[in-house]
Amino acid sequence: MRRTSLVFVGLLLIAILFLPQCVRAATAGQPNVLLIVCDDLNTHVSTSGYPHISTPAFDRLAAASVTFGRAYCQYPVCGPSRASFLHGLYPQSTGVLDNKADIRQTRPATVSLPQRFKESGYWTGSVGKVFHNPTIDPGDVAWNACLRFENDEMPLVTPIRKAFEAEHGSIDQPRARRLWRQKYPTIATQTRGQQPGYGPSGLRDDQHRDGKNARQIASWLREKVHGEKPFFMACGIQKPHVPFLAPDAYFAQYPKEGLKFFPAPADFWKQAPKTAMVKRYEGFGFELGVENDPLRREYMQAYHACVSFIDAQIGLVFDALDRTGHWEDTIIILTSDHGYQLGEHWMWGKVTLFEVCDRVPLVIRAPGRMKAGSRSAGLVELVDLYPTLAELCEVVPPEDMQGRSLAAMLRDPTAPGKQLAYTVVSRGTKLGKAIRTDRWRYARWPDGEELYDLENDVAEHHNLATSEAHAATVAAMRAHLTRAESRAAAAKR
């Protein structure tokens, strides 16, 4: 009997040590993880050097973390970006190139970040928008708990809804619901949804989705729902995605007349490929090349208000970590799925390859494994988050991941980043593709090329792609892009 037991133990040890895909059980000594992902948040935060919005929670985290000043998404749209960084793969390898695709169909058996942590013995919980939508979310295979909330009804809507129901019946009934959906966007700017909507909501913080998201994370921490296991919690912050709604007090922080911005050059699109633009500005009510100062201030005030609102909610999560004794044993990542344009280059929204659309805030706190309060100027990508967390938490990663761990840069923020950062976006059946180096941003489109000197032209106003003086740089960047394309499509399905 004893000999049989020894043989069994030996075989078990061999399996644990030598099977590459073996998932080891987490131990109480492994760090916890809090992943905070904002939606459509550009670099209009203090940690990215933007002085016009108050973000004290970002500052608080940065003081105890490493801030990455040049972090880039891999696709400036929610679904493809999230599929990329939650699986450690470039979009051409995930096969997710729009908001409808599901990686479970395009790349079956690919293991997501939370799934791998759950398999490794972590308690995993998600609130808000982490994966793009509930249909794409992997559910129980990745999460022990997964919750999404809705905003409470805005006070300005309530009397209108009651009058509507008195005439048409409850909006829970099919016919009335259809009519209500037609009427709702006409009530006020706040009810326009994706059109886009904006304005003070009349709600308290805790009546908004993000207020509920933050308070749910705080509740999980307070109730210790993870038991004796380490936890992996993901907080999907849904603002500043449209509609730009926030409690009234946050709008009061940003009087419209005090907002600072610079109109784009009127002739910018005479020297840039037309497929580099998107016509989303029309949905916002703008004309290309025509500055509408009052309307721009309306939207910018609302976007600023949303940023300050989510910063306050994130601060509540940090307070909860502190109160429950987890500030020092939890790795925190705070970032966004991509950036957002607010009139730069006459563009509004996302789906472009400009810096303001592709560069994201990224702050990482790894207690005991970093140089706190420091900054890194090295190039990094969101695709690097999965391998970083796997290394820091001693979780065995999938073999096909394409990102690179940032653990060394956390220990030494002066360490070099990547040579290139790579981002793509769809234009019909083709892709626009961009690479960044320390100095340059180059893009290739179906109808032309772009080259910007990011040291001397931060706003990307002067396309140098056709300049004879920069022909050698263009040739070098073309070669870099070819290598980046090959690497991005290399992972086997």
- Residues 441-466: tens digit of each pLDDT: 999 999 999 999 999 999 999 999 99
Q: Of all residues in the chain, what percent carry a pLDDT higher than 70?
A: 94
**With 90 as the cut, is the pLDDT of residue 259 above it?**
yes
Specify whether the CB–CB gap between 423 and 76 falls below 8 A.
yes
Cα gap 166→161, rounded to integer Å: 9
**pLDDT band per the 50, 70, 90 thresholds, residue 490:** confident
Residue 257 falls inside a structural domain: yes
Cα gap 40→340, rounded to integer Å: 6
Strands 421-427 and 430-436: antiparallel
Q: What is the pLDDT of residue 26?
A: 65
Cα gap 33→122, rounded to integer Å: 9
- In angstroms, the first-to-last Cα distance of the chain is 45
CATH number of domain containing 370: 3.40.720.10
What mean pLDDT value characterizes the chain?
94
| Residue linked to tokens 């108050």 | 54
**With 60 as the cut, is the pLDDT of residue 11 above it?**
no
Q: What is the pLDDT of residue 71?
A: 98
Average pLDDT score over residue span 373-379: 97
Residue 399 falls inside a structural domain: yes
Cα gap 391→90, rounded to integer Å: 19
Segments forming the whole domain that contains residue 232: 31-151+201-419
Neighbours of 310 (CB within 10 A): 29
Q: What is the pLDDT of residue 28?
A: 60
Residue 234 falls inside a structural domain: yes
- Residues 49-86: tens digit of each pLDDT: 999 999 999 999 999 999 999 999 999 999 999 999 99
Total domains, the chain: 1
Q: What is the pLDDT of residue 312?
A: 98
For 213, half-sphere exposure in the C-beta direction (CA atoms, 13 angstrom radius) is 32
- Residues 301-358: tens digit of each pLDDT: 999 999 999 999 999 999 999 999 999 999 999 999 999 999 999 999 999 999 999 9
Cα gap 122→493, rounded to integer Å: 27
Cα gap 80→78, rounded to integer Å: 6
Specify whether the CB–CB gap between 221 and 320 falls below 8 A.
yes
**pLDDT band per the 50, 70, 90 thresholds, residue 491:** confident
**With 60 as the cut, is the pLDDT of residue 109 above it?**
yes
Q: Which residues pair with 363 in a beta bridge?
A: 67, 334
**With 90 as the cut, is the pLDDT of residue 437 above it?**
yes
Average pLDDT score over residue span 388-411: 96
Residue 21 falls inside a structural domain: no
316: its two tokens? 């509540």
**With 50 as the cut, is the pLDDT of residue 208 above it?**
yes
Q: Which residue has the higher pLDDT, 360 or 492?
A: 360
**With 60 as the cut, is the pLDDT of residue 398 above it?**
yes
**With 70 as the cut, is the pLDDT of residue 209 above it?**
yes
Q: Of all residues in the chain, what percent carry a pLDDT higher than 90?
A: 92
Specify whether the CB–CB gap between 138 and 104 falls below 8 A.
yes
Cα gap 34→217, rounded to integer Å: 9
Q: What is the pLDDT of residue 6?
A: 47
Cα gap 73→353, rounded to integer Å: 10
**With 60 as the cut, is the pLDDT of residue 17 above it?**
no
Residue 10 falls inside a structural domain: no
Q: What is the pLDDT of residue 29?
A: 77
Residue 2 falls inside a structural domain: no
**With 80 as the cut, is the pLDDT of residue 4 above it?**
no
**Helices 293-323 and 209-223: crossing angle, nearest 10°?**
10
Cα gap 493→48, rounded to integer Å: 36
26: Cβ–Cβ under 8 A, 6 or more apart, which residues? 117, 120, 121, 122, 229, 230, 393, 395
Average pLDDT score over residue span 112-125: 98
Helix intervals (H) in 120-241: 158-168, 174-183, 209-223
Cα gap 119→142, rounded to integer Å: 8
Residue 194 falls inside a structural domain: no
Residue 138 falls inside a structural domain: yes
